[in-house]
Amino acid sequence: MMAAAAMPATRDDPPRRPLRPVDWPVVVVPEILGAGQEEAVGEGADVGAGGGRPVVVGRGGAGQLGGADLGAEAGEVELLLLAEEPPLLLPRELLVHPLVLPLGQPARERPRPAPHPSGVFVGGGERSLVEMGEGERKRVLVVGGSGYLGQHLLSALAAGGGVDVAFTHHRETPPQALLHALPGLRAFRVDLRSGDGLHAVSESFGQPDVIVNCAAISVPRECETDPAAAMATNVPSSLVGWLLSFGNDSTLLIHLSTDQVYEGVKSFYKEEDETLPVNMYGKSKVAAEKFIIEQCSNYAILRSSIIYGPQTISPVAKSLPIQWMDSVLSQGQQVQFFNDEFRCPVYVKDMVDVVLSLTKSWLADGKAIQVLLNVGGPDRVSRLQMAETVADVRGYSHSIIKSVSASSVDRGVASPPDISMDITKLTQMLGIKPISFQDGVRATLAEEAST
């Protein structure tokens, strides 16, 4: 089960049996213990070592800790839990990014994606999934894993550990940079229109416990040009047919939809509002939602707004919104931005947290999940306001940003004017509060600079 947030132990707590940190994996986490809490880590532990970082130790037989697979061969703890009773109680936000100390080696920082800019644990985070299931290792399949969201999700799953992870790709070969950075992944070439390649997943990987479908033709103009291809790809008929062939209800399908299912004639759409898409992309996504709801026993449909954030391990070909705005504004030339189309852009790591939270819930108890959620950021912004935010963060002059109406440009496809979304259901159900657009822009540009 996922550990609940708790306050550090106090002097009134029952006395602890000393832990003997001999030959145990060691996890170093900054500022876990308050004053007077040294006894919580046990005899022999070097409390305050390494610049004031207390050392917390955990143990378990045969590489096990609280039922979690520690990866004993690597000598690293992926999950901070104690087998002792009473367990060491830790604030949830301090479990997001532990530092790992391999046995008998100096402390080093574990490779991982950059921390969530909010600095706190928000629903998903990077805590291990291993505590979610018992017995056989669980399997997660990311369909379209070579895409933008897919790669960020794979990075988080690999960092969390405890589950077997595979992904599908459409091109001849999977991204080699991705496989090199995340060597534990399994890659399968799959044609979602025909279903070719899915049998190989069954034979080699097995039935997934969770499928996350990130695959789509997501450029509205492309969908308008070839509506048949849009419907064949965006409505996951072959994927759902393959899922149903297992003959049980043991898999959760998490499907990425879009805010473009809404007509765009008002602000802050709710999930129960009527879907009246104005373009083929939105129509194909509405058809997909209806198909999944009719066919699947367990599903989570996520209506996503624009997803933005840092570049992926294997850079994607499409232009990323914040990076593009930064690039054009940095040239000092005047650029036009629409002032009358509104969205609620969502930071990619918030979107990943939503997927991980649903995954953990499913693996924890297997209770039926049938949910449709709006997933966006908290801010309703136009392209103009997005550009102004990038300019503010970078220090560019607003004089180079020209405000224009969307109707002044022929994009070859209809675009809904206001598809901002109400995310109350998301925050209430999963406890996830996406960061502000400005904070997301700062985090994106900071990570881009660091890489």
pLDDT, residue 362, reads 97
Q: Where are the alpha helices (DSSP H) in 17-147?
A: 49-52
Confidence band, pLDDT 50/70/90 cuts, at residue 70: very low
125 has pLDDT over 90? no
Tens-place pLDDT, residues 250-275: 999 999 999 999 999 999 999 999 99
Q: Which of 75, 110, 145 is the last residue of a domain?
A: 110
Does any domain span residue 345? Answer: yes
Phi and psi, residue 441, nearest 5° = -65, -45
79 has pLDDT over 80? no
Does any domain span residue 122? Answer: no
User: What is the domain count for the chain?
Assistant: 2
CATH of residue 188's domain is: 3.40.50.720
Does any domain span residue 241? Answer: yes
Tell me: do 233 and 370 sit in the same domain: yes
Does any domain span residue 116? Answer: no
Q: Where are the alpha helices (DSSP H) in 142-256?
A: 148-160, 176-181, 198-204, 220-225, 227-234, 237-244
With b meaning 16 or more CB within 10 Å and e meaning fewer, what string describes 109-124?
eeebbeebbbeebbbb
96 has pLDDT over 90? no
76 has pLDDT over 90? no
Q: Report which residue type is found at 61.
A: G
Residues 45, 48, 53: CA angle, nearest 5 degrees = 105
pLDDT, residue 161, reads 86
- The mean pLDDT of 173-202, rounded to a whole number, is 96
pLDDT, residue 129, reads 53
pLDDT, residue 135, reads 58
Tell me: do 106 and 144 sit in the same domain: no
Confidence band, pLDDT 50/70/90 cuts, at residue 391: very high
16 has pLDDT over 70? no
Q: Which residues, 6 or more positions from 97, have their beta carbon under 8 angstroms from its beta carbon?
A: 112, 115, 126
pLDDT, residue 366, reads 86
- The mean pLDDT of 222-229, rounded to a whole number, is 96
37 has pLDDT over 70? no
- The string of DSSP codes covering 299-312 is EEEEEE--EE-SPP
Domain that holds residue 338: 130-380+411-450
pTM of the model: 0.73
- The mean pLDDT of 432-442, rounded to a whole number, is 98
Query: Is the separation of the CB atoms in 438 and 371 below 8 Å?
Result: no
Tell me: do 11 and 60 sit in the same domain: yes
Q: What percent of the chain has pLDDT over 70?
A: 70
Query: Is the separation of the CB atoms in 114 and 310 below 8 Å?
Result: yes
